[in-house]
Amino acid sequence: MARQVTSTSLTQAVADHLRMRIHRGDVSPGERLPAERELAEQLGVARISLREAIRQLREDGYVEVRRGSTGGTYVTELRRPAEAWRARMREQAGEIDDIVDFRIALETQTATLAAHRRSEATLAPVQESLGALRDVIGRTAFRQADSRFHVALARAARNDRLTDAVETARGELFSPRDLLPFREPVEETLRDHQAIFEAVRDGDAGLAAEAMRAHLERARRQLRAIVFGTDHDTDGDPEWSSA
């Protein structure tokens, strides 16, 4: 029997979607969400459902509503939801490893398919993301360039379900990097991304999968450092290779 869709479940779905976008870094701390009418149209929902979803996000500390000439709904500094996420990861033993294991299975297969199905048209956005990473200034640009790479690679695999799954899995690993001490490892991340891209471009599916696995295993260690305070570098900051 099909489950009935209620206004409550729709509101929750909208709130979860916006929360996922914030987790992935699509919208960063301090950034303004689109105006209510525009955002409701983008999501294809009634404004009342969007309003309720925004209320939920406000209560959870994700957004704040500002008044005045520059008013609107803005993403907060995420300190409260970040700490709530870290506490949940600490309490749920093995959760981080489960999510990273899933991402490895997902994205190594994505890299494999991309190597088999690549074309000039699908590789162009992947290569453009490398250029964006080389030119980043600031953490927001760094996060966005990293996200562009993984999504573009998933699209190069030419499987819409894989692309959706990659985006969802990235959203589950809420690592609020703007709040935590770390050195932006542009060179290390660029090296990883470049190795994956070259293997895909050359049609070497095995090497592409191996490079992606190494990239995500590095991310596993770094996420554990953020959540549990282990595997820090010598200056006390977690080593970071964005993933």
Do 153 and 72 reside in the same domain of the chain? no
End-to-end Cα separation, the chain, in angstroms: 39
185-222 burial: b if 16+ Cβ within 10 Å, else e:
bbebbbebbbbbbebbbeebbebbbbbbbebbebbbeb
Domain closes at, from 40, 57, 76: 76
User: What's the CA gap between 5 and 227, in Å, rounded?
Assistant: 36
Domain span at 57: 7-76
- 141 is a domain residue: yes
Give one DSSP letter per residue of 123-184, joined into a string: HHHHHHHHHHHHT--SHHHHHHHHHHHHHHHHHHTT-HHHHHHHHHHHHHS---TTTS----
* 64/145 same-domain check: no
Residue 56 has pLDDT above 60, yes or no: yes
Residue 136 shares a structural domain with residue 221: yes
pLDDT digits (tens, 9 = 90+) for 213-235: 999 998 888 888 878 875 444 34
pTM of this structure? 0.78
Domain total for the chain?
A: 2
71 phi-psi bin (left φ>0, alpha ψ -120 to 50, beta other): beta
- What is the C-alpha radius of gyration for the chain, rounded to an integer number of angstroms? 19
pLDDT in tens, 129-146: 999 988 887 777 787 888
Q: Where is average pLDDT lowest: 61-65, 67-71, 147-151?
A: 67-71
